[in-house]
Amino acid sequence: MKNILSAIIVCGALSLVVQQAEAVSFDISWTGAGNYTMEGSFSYSDTLIGTGRIDETSLTSFNIEGFLSGTSLGTFDFFTDTPLLGSDTFNFNFDSTSETFYTGGYSADDFGQDWGVSIGGGFAATTGFGFSSGSGSQGIANPSWLSVSSIPVSQSTLIATRSSDPVPEPATMLLFGTGLIGLAGSRIRRKK
């Protein structure tokens, strides 16, 4: 009887864990002119899926890395680099319904992107690398603006692709809980 009660308590606790919000993650890719590329990732709470526009205040992770012909130019991480910088160095806008980036607006408004680039500093990268998507073009800074990387925003290649987890967390916890119940049941049978 004691084992059955323990199994019920464990299963109850696991069901609470399963109901917690999970992060939804995306991979970022961008191809500019002159063999310049960028990749990275970001995540936010899955409770925001389908709610429309989200900004940098909703992120739980964000990092990018730039490349020239496959050679790294530098990185930017919102959570480790931005707190050291001014307020004009990061602007993130994403549509959680269509799972696309907003583009075409000024880089500092609700329809632009500004990741690690100081607008007030002449579009210079604040940590050695940054990306900006404004009303006219998209490109990178390393550390100053690299116009040779720029492409017209009308030809935007800025893409977010949802990352898939190999084993969804809720299913893993459910399987674990089911296994515990089976273990408790087999112990009871052995005692009889």
Q: Identify the CA nearest to 39 among candidates 115, 135, 137, 118.
A: 115
Tens digits of pLDDT across the chain (192 residues): 566 656 556 555 555 555 567 999 999 999 999 999 999 999 999 999 999 999 999 999 999 999 999 999 999 888 887 655 555 678 899 999 999 999 988 888 889 998 887 665 555 666 778 898 988 899 998 888 888 999 999 999 999 999 976 545 555 556 666 666 766 666 666 666
Q: Is residue 3 part of a domain?
A: no
Answer yes or no: are the C-beta atoms of 138 and 150 closer than 8 Å: yes
Q: State how far the Cα of 4 lies from the Cα of 109, in Å rounded to an integer.
A: 58
Q: Is residue 6 part of a domain?
A: no
Residue type for position 34: G
State the total domains in the chain. 1
Please report the pLDDT score of residue 89 as a whole number: 72
As a 3-state breakdown, the chain gives helix, strand, coil percent values, each rounded to 5, of: 30, 35, 30
Please report the pLDDT score of residue 107 as a whole number: 83
Answer yes or no: are the C-beta atoms of 81 and 118 closer than 8 Å: no
The structure's pTM equals: 0.72
Q: State how far the Cα of 96 lies from the Cα of 98, in Å rounded to an integer.
A: 6
Q: Is residue 14 part of a domain?
A: no
- Give the domain range for residue 141: 21-165
Return the number of other C-beta atoms located less than 10 Å from residue 166's C-beta: 4
Q: State how far the Cα of 45 lies from the Cα of 168, in Å rounded to an integer.
A: 15
Please report the pLDDT score of residue 143 as a whole number: 82
Residue found under tokens 């590329």: 37
Please report the pLDDT score of residue 128 as a whole number: 74
Answer yes or no: are the C-beta atoms of 89 and 114 closer than 8 Å: yes
Three-state DSSP class for residue 5: helix
Please report the pLDDT score of residue 66 as a whole number: 94
Q: Which residues of 55-87 are buried (b: 16+ CB within 10 A; e: fewer)?
A: ebebbeebbbbbbbeeeebbbbebeebbeeeee
Q: Is residue 78 part of a domain?
A: yes
Please report the pLDDT score of residue 167 as a whole number: 47
